[in-house]
Amino acid sequence: MTLPDPLKLIEAVPLAMLVVDGAARVVLANDPARALFGDGILGRPFVTVLRHPAINEAVENILEGRAHSRDRQQARINAQGRMLSVAATVTPLPLNGGQGAAIAFEDRSGIEQADAMRRDFVANVSHELRTPLTALAGFIETLRGAARDDPSARERFLDIMQREAGRMNRLIGDLLSLSRVEAEERSRPAESVDLAALLRNVVATLSQGADAAGVRIAFETPPQGVLVAGDSDQLVQVFHNLIENAVKYGGSGGVVTLTIESIAHEPVLRGPAWAITVADRGEGIEAQHLPRLTERFYRVDGHRSRERGGTGLGLAIAKHIVNRHRGRLRIESEKGKGSRFTVALPVLDPPASK
């Protein structure tokens, strides 16, 4: 049986892998290892490629015969100026009649980041639920005690309790919606949706509330044939959220403008698109907040958002829905000059002619 070339063998390994000889010099490195540590590492002492005491000690123990089985280390390493969390496995490897070692690196940075996001998410949900639950528990205790026979206090507390219960209900609804959207994100919708008709329905639904807030929703007449491949319920959710937010937080300008524009070539989408923009003339948002607006539970003004019924999940849900539709969400704002939220969606391809 002919053995494979050692270099070809480690090139087949998907993890970054180095092989060192008895003198602890790097003699083989696959492409992922060169991408991690840079070119020109062959022939160099391993200690100059990676300066990490625990991993260096594991290599030395194997090369000097003090260890005869693989050693796995969880470590944070500096790879060309990037700090990465890795699982490094050092394995004895007979080499040219002597003792060598193979060192494989599994990048676990993404897993750790996902774990951190999960912990943050659980902490945020717990915090968001704890506040109204604490309020409800306090008012229930008060109603059972001092306010039991005070009709005016009882009505006031019941109103607050109803509001807090509604807030929890909205939060749970948004959490379920976010979970569904994330589960479907890789499945592109194929239904044909008329955006113009959809937006007219959304505007009609929100007009009464906008009028009550002293805000006019100006919807410029769109062109004909505004068709995209989409999930109509999810797109309604996106534009309902964007327009409602514009009325709530940008309504001080008195007008929220909704426009549809045809784009011959949207660079990110690599083709023609429809751009739907929701613009307000309100206070605007400071630049440092813009990159984080679509993060879960991120609020520019947390107290104001909660007072107006916000859960901090609306824009996160909108971003995932737009991603599912292979579109893009762009946010532009300047303090004192209002905000613009633009959703670009690919134009629906015409049916192939027979």
Q: What is the pLDDT of residue 105?
A: 93
Sign of the four-CA dihedral 283, 284, 287, 289: positive
Name every residue whose Cβ is closer than 8 Å to that of residue 279 and which is 6 or more positions away in sequence. Answer: 246, 256, 257, 258, 259, 338, 339, 340, 341
Q: What is the mean pLDDT of residues 191-199?
A: 90
Is 114 part of any domain?
Answer: yes
Is 301 part of any domain?
Answer: yes
Taking alpha carbons only, the member of 35, 29, 93, 85 closest to residue 59 is 93
Confidence of residue 25 (pLDDT cuts 50, 70, 90): very high
| Pair (256, 313) in one structural domain | yes
| Pair (23, 149) in one structural domain | no
Is 316 part of any domain?
Answer: yes
Name every residue whose Cβ is closer than 8 Å to that of residue 69 and which is 6 or more positions away in sequence. Answer: 92
Query: How many angstroms separate the CA atoms of 39 and 31, rounded?
Result: 9
SS3 for 254?
coil
| Pair (155, 208) in one structural domain | no
**Domain range for 180:** 109-184
Element (H, E) at 353: none
| Pair (103, 126) in one structural domain | no
| Pair (49, 132) in one structural domain | no
Query: How many angstroms separate the CA atoms of 300 and 298, rounded?
Result: 7
Tokens 């070119």: give the residue. 39
| Distance set, CA 241 to CA 5, 195, 231, 285 (Å) | 59, 15, 16, 17
Is 327 part of any domain?
Answer: yes
Could you say which of 184, 212, 239 is where a domain stops? 184
SS3 for 58?
helix
176 or 352, greater pLDDT: 176
Burial class (CB in 10 A: 0-12, 13-18, 19+), 208: exposed
pLDDT in tens, 217-242: 998 777 677 888 889 999 999 999 99
| Pair (193, 178) in one structural domain | no
Q: Is a pLDDT exceeding 70 seen at residue 307?
A: no
CATH number of domain containing 261: 3.30.565.10
The first and second tokens of residue 277, run together, are 């923009």
Q: Structurally, how many domains does the chain consist of?
A: 3
Tokens 């062959």: give the residue. 42
Taking alpha carbons only, the member of 253, 250, 280 closest to residue 342 is 280
Q: Could you tell me whether strands 271-280 and 227-229 are parallel, antiparallel, or unpaired per DSSP bridges? A: unpaired
Q: What is the pLDDT of residue 350?
A: 53
Q: What is the pLDDT of residue 20?
A: 92
CATH number of domain containing 18: 3.30.450.20
| Pair (164, 88) in one structural domain | no
Q: What is the pLDDT of residue 179?
A: 83
pLDDT in tens, 118-161: 787 777 778 778 888 888 888 888 888 877 778 888 888 888 88
250 or 107, greater pLDDT: 107
Tokens 């829905």: give the residue. 321
Could you say which of 184, 209, 227 is where a domain stops? 184
Is 3 part of any domain?
Answer: no
| Pair (156, 205) in one structural domain | no
Could you say which of 107, 141, 162 is where a domain stops? 107
Q: What is the mean pLDDT of residues 28-57?
A: 91
Mean pLDDT of the chain, nearest integer? 84
Lowest mean pLDDT among 203-207, 306-310, 327-331: 306-310
Q: Is a pLDDT exceeding 70 seen at residue 305?
A: no
Confidence of residue 354 (pLDDT cuts 50, 70, 90): very low
Task: Tell me the one-letter amino acid at 8.
Answer: K
The dihedral region occupied by 214, where left means phi > 0, alpha psi between -120 and 50, and beta the remainder, is left
| Pair (275, 128) in one structural domain | no
Confidence of residue 4 (pLDDT cuts 50, 70, 90): low
| Pair (28, 99) in one structural domain | yes
| Pair (225, 317) in one structural domain | yes
Confidence of residue 56 (pLDDT cuts 50, 70, 90): very high
| % of the chain residues with pLDDT over 90 | 30
pLDDT in tens, 256-303: 999 998 888 888 888 888 899 999 988 888 888 888 888 888 877 655
Q: What is the pLDDT of residue 353?
A: 43
CA atoms within 13 A on the CB side of 12: 6
Is 44 part of any domain?
Answer: yes
Q: What is the pLDDT of residue 236?
A: 93
| Pair (146, 255) in one structural domain | no
Is 195 part of any domain?
Answer: yes
Q: Is a pLDDT exceeding 60 seen at residue 17?
A: yes
Is 248 part of any domain?
Answer: yes
Beta strands in the chain (DSSP E): 16-20, 26-29, 71-79, 82-95, 98-107, 192-194, 216-219, 227-229, 255-266, 271-280, 328-333, 339-346
pTM for the model stands at 0.65
**166 CB neighbour count, 10 Å cutoff:** 12
